Amino acid sequence: MNKSDLMAALKDNSDIGRQEAEKVVNLFFQTIEDALRDGERVEIRGFGSFTVNHYKSYTGRNPKTGEQIRVPSKKLPFFKVGKELKEKVDY
């Protein structure tokens, strides 16, 4: 399923227009992105929570050439699956 499938399904399921469905779906992910960018945690009960994890820089190796490289510190989003979704997926 991709974003446009999601929009189409939302339109059919909740009796709203195509444009409104597009707006809501875009807004949903945009809002989560904005919150994460501000370093905020996002929690959606039953679905899961998003947090930003900080990773320190480390010296890695290119596995192909064996060459040492410094991997810079970075931030990555982390999604923890909510209880309800976890149980639903693994029945």
Residues forming the site for other proteins (CB under 8 A): 1-3, 6, 9-10, 13-14, 16, 20, 23-25, 27-29, 31-33, 35-37, 40-49, 52, 74-79, 81, 84-86, 88-90
DSSP state of 11: H
Count of alpha carbons within 13 angstroms of residue 76, beta-carbon side: 9
E strand residue ranges, 12-73: 42-44, 48-55, 58-61, 68-71
We find the least distance from the C-beta atom of residue 33 to other proteins, in angstroms, to be 6
Closer Cβ to other proteins, 33 or 60, answer by number: 33
Are 47 and 82 in contact by the 8 Å Cβ rule? The answer is yes
Our CB check for other proteins shows the closer of 3 and 61 to be 3
Tokens standing for 62?
């290119």
CB of 63 to other proteins, least distance (A): 20
CB nearer other proteins, residue 53 or residue 59: 53
